[in-house]
Structure 1
Amino acid sequence: MNLLYWLDPWEPSPTVVICVLTAAILYARGVRHARVSLPRQIAFWFGLVALYIALHTRLDYYFEHEFFMHRLQHLVLHHLGPFFIAWSYPGAALRAGIPFSWRQRFIGPAVKTKPMQAVFNIVFQPIVAVVLFVGLIYFWLLSPIHFKAMLDWRLYRIMNWSMVVDGLLFWWLVLDPRPAPPARLAAGRRLMIVIAAIPPQIALGALIFFTPRELYPIYSICGRAFTWISPIRDQQIGGLLIWIPGSMMSVVGALIALRHWMRLSARERLIEERREMPARGQASAPTPAQAH
């Protein structure tokens, strides 16, 4: 089996191809006009390729037939891929990749409509962002919901896309390097929401790991990809993937948010000091009468 075999999708999806190709073309066009450093470009392409591999390759067969592989897939879709894309801060490059006339006539007016602004205000609200980020993991791992999602291809794709979209929204909010405004949240609040997402992930991973009975029999019913791994062992590995790598990604996000907070705080202090210096100079300068 060569590389082309693994790149051949298990279940072809035009939606995945169109979305990934569109993002790639816009970004490639945009970096020619926007100033984007090489590390940021590498981070974007790494994240985009990771999403494509997790959604549209032969690996999807293993994601559908082994619980720990499924958790590995969602780790990429919800954490790793969106994290690197948001970390690259590709907004300027993607905007530059869209023809100016399209931005002026279609994109700009669409984004500024009241319904779109209402959606953004809801999903970027701190409590809602944390609840969605953690809640989607819990929701799709409820045993009855998970059973149906793994049997119905339409629900399966909704599940995967919901993880991608939510991951992009959450990490975009957390890793925004700008001050507020124009960023949605102040740097300190970004740090707090990513920290708040850590304990629920640890609790869920530990619960799955320590449960002595099979929680997801759908993999035994449909046939496991790795018959030499017992159902309980498979479940334990999946729990560990939620518990440790998933939580560690949030810890890394918290460290980056903390770094942005310290940088922005130092910048604000510097600006304040520059504003105070002329005032101090004027206060200490002698008047003409005092000079004589």
Structure 2
Amino acid sequence: MDPSITGPLLIALVLFALGADRLSRRSTRGHGALRSRIRFFVAGWLILAVALVSPLHQAGERSFAAHMFEHELIMLAAAPLLVLAEPLAVMLWGVPAEARPVIGGWSHFSVVRRSWLFLTKPVTATLLQAASLWLWHAPALFDLALASEGWHAAQHLSFLVSALLFWTAMTSRRTAEPVAALCLVATSIVSGALGALMAFATSPWYEGYARLGLAPFGLTPAEDQELAGLLMWVPGGLVHAAAALLVMRRLLRPVHG
């Protein structure tokens, strides 16, 4: 296991667990909301761990479809669940008491606050996630990630961070519901287009997988890529389309006077 991956995962889990415990001891008020945040965090953390440190990660080194499934778990399942958990405030309570004012004070710096507000604007976050998705699936960068553990970690970090920013923007009270719905539909189209290009390609895009020959489950490199493209195209499109429908449902809900 790569300590650069398992280390941050374990640190995040320990900080959240300590923070949740201290908050629950501090007051009985808000326990229901805290329990919901704990459930979201645990579910998101477990999915992220499955994607990054389970046998799925090793399978992804020999199969593009497995690698794509790993990416889908990170961006479509783990990221939105972690965003719904709103873990930063809970994790702040996990650090020693004397360090909390220092860490919390960073959020009051103008550059930090403005950067966060800019990065979590719906259009900005949508463009960042789309750019991350398309750039890292360019053959040169993807083969670089396959050949180097460092670049591979950078690829996954890019996917996770861009997805966290995207889902933060989509769930923010500052984001108007029509804008969120449009961004979700646009993301569905952008990711679906990339998946369709992969699925209908007549030859493998990535040399790193092509030279390995058959995937672990007996697919040729071209068939493996076709399955990977379908995984990006169909589940990705469905998740974003379903989220857009949920947003529009709230928007169209009748107001009772």
Change (3 A) 1:256 1:14: farther
Superposition deviation, residue 195 in structure 1: 2.0
Alignment of 1:75 with 2:72, yes or no, is: yes
Q: For the aligned residues, what is the CA RMSD?
A: 2.5
Does 160-169 or 247-256 show the bigger shift? 247-256
Match of 1:250 in 2: 240
Paired with 1:95 and 1:259, the residues of 2 have a C-alpha distance of 34
Match of 1:274 in 2: none
Q: How many residues align?
A: 249
Match of 1:110 among 106, 111, 115: 106
Change (3 A) 1:259 1:42: farther
Normalised by the length of structure 1, the TM-score is 0.76
Contiguous gaps of at least 5 residues in structure 1: 1-11, 271-292
Change (3 A) 1:224 1:47: farther
Paired with 1:207 and 1:87, the residues of 2 have a C-alpha distance of 32
Paired with 1:259 and 1:92, the residues of 2 have a C-alpha distance of 30
- 1:174, 1:257 within 8 Å by CA — same for their partners in 2? no
1:228-247 aligned at under 5 Å gives the runs: 228-247=218-237
Match of 2:7 in 1: 18
Does 14-23 or 139-148 show the bigger shift? 14-23
Paired with 2:171 and 2:81, the residues of 1 have a C-alpha distance of 10
Alignment of 1:195 with 2:192, yes or no, is: no
Change (3 A) 1:248 1:110: same
2:200 partner amino acid: F
Match of 2:211 in 1: 221
Alignment of 1:120 with 2:110, yes or no, is: no
2:6 partner amino acid: V
Paired with 2:158 and 2:50, the residues of 1 have a C-alpha distance of 17
Larger radius of gyration: 1
2:121 partner amino acid: Q
Paired with 2:71 and 2:60, the residues of 1 have a C-alpha distance of 9
Task: State, as a whole percentage, how many aligned pairs show the same letter.
Answer: 24
Match of 2:62 among 44, 65, 70: 65
- 2:215, 2:221 within 8 Å by CA — same for their partners in 1? no
Change (3 A) 1:260 1:13: farther
Change (3 A) 1:259 1:98: farther
Paired with 1:20 and 1:241, the residues of 2 have a C-alpha distance of 26
Change (3 A) 1:252 1:39: farther
Question: What are the Cα deviations for residues 4-44 of structure 1, in whole angstroms up to 9, with x where unaligned?
Answer: xxxxxxxx222322322222223223334253364543232
Change (3 A) 1:26 1:227: closer
Paired with 2:176 and 2:230, the residues of 1 have a C-alpha distance of 33
Match of 1:164 in 2: 160
Alignment of 1:136 with 2:125, yes or no, is: no
Alignment of 1:47 with 2:44, yes or no, is: yes
2:79 partner amino acid: P
Paired with 2:155 and 2:179, the residues of 1 have a C-alpha distance of 28
Does 199-208 or 214-223 show the bigger shift? 214-223
Paired with 1:258 and 1:132, the residues of 2 have a C-alpha distance of 23
